[in-house]
Amino acid sequence: MNPDLGAHYAAMRQAALPRLALGHPELDTLLDHPAADTRRGLTLLARPPQPLVAALAARMAELAALEPAQYYYPPSDIHLTILSIISCYPGFQLADIEPAAYARLVAELLRHVPPLRIRFAGFTASAAGIMVQGFPLDEGLGELRQQLRVAFQASGLPQSIDQRYRIQTAHATLVRFRAPLRHPARLVAWLRRHAQVPIGDFELGTIELVFNDWYQRAAHTVLLQRNALVA
């Protein structure tokens, strides 16, 4: 595993804990007003296998017992972002692009990509939410992301890859804060206890191209293409 990635997750957590300890996280004011949230984007993502999702759901249940007012991703929405091709912005619609052109490019690039090996271990946090830490077990994910960057930049297709930030992690967001914390000290203690807890290794054998909202809600997601990775 990449030791720099572990250090990155640890730095995130340490930066967030003082604010969380005060009980005043960064609140997402749009979570409870989906009709007013027109942010949409185009994303390549993968979904952990069911046993891993079940393990994450058990940890989320522990958190929900501490902080029931927060937003917890349902199993259908838990995902790992491979690459955000068009970052979510207000008013974006599928009619603004040619989805088939994106699907063709992705399918061609993924034809010879083997399954991606990932390890989930530990939890990190930001002021806005809680994430499970993901660690690529080989160079496959990083190489795929770079190939996608090069291909899309050369394609002439509309894209905003890396404009918000350059994705390097393999995390999955599980919790978003939408209310002040009820038990900040207990939440911080939970995060410290679970900083390195093992969860499991798995292979990502399918990558989806989706039109999505900010939270990857299943109800607002349009599956454009599903690509199988062949060993």
**pTM, two decimal places:** 0.94
**b/e per residue 115-143 (b: at least 16 CB within 10 A):** bbebbbbbbbbbbbbbbbbbbbbeebbee
- CATH number of residue 162's parent domain: 3.90.1140.10
Beta strands at 172-176 and 129-136: parallel, antiparallel or unpaired: antiparallel
203 vs 20, 118, 153, CA distance in Å? 33, 6, 28
In sequence order, which residues have a C-beta less than 8 Å from that of residue 40 and are 6 or more positions away? Answer: 88, 89, 91, 92, 93, 211, 212, 213, 220
pLDDT tens column, 60-97: 999 999 999 999 999 999 999 999 999 999 999 999 99
- What is the length of the chain? 231
Distance CA 92, CA 193 (A): 41
d(CA 173, CA 90): 21
Which residues neighbour 88 within 8 Å (Cβ) at sequence distance 6 or greater?
39, 40, 41, 212, 213, 214
Domain count for the chain: 1
Domain that holds residue 36: 3-228
Taking only the tens place, the pLDDT of each residue in 88-132 is: 999 999 999 999 999 999 999 999 999 999 999 999 999 999 999
pLDDT one-digit tens code per residue, 21-48: 999 999 999 999 988 999 999 999 999 9
Average pLDDT over residues 194-223: 97
Of 78, 66, 80, 76, nearest to 194 by C-alpha is 66
pLDDT cut 90: percent of the chain above it: 93
Whether the predicted pLDDT of 2 surpasses 80: no
pLDDT > 90? residue 1: no
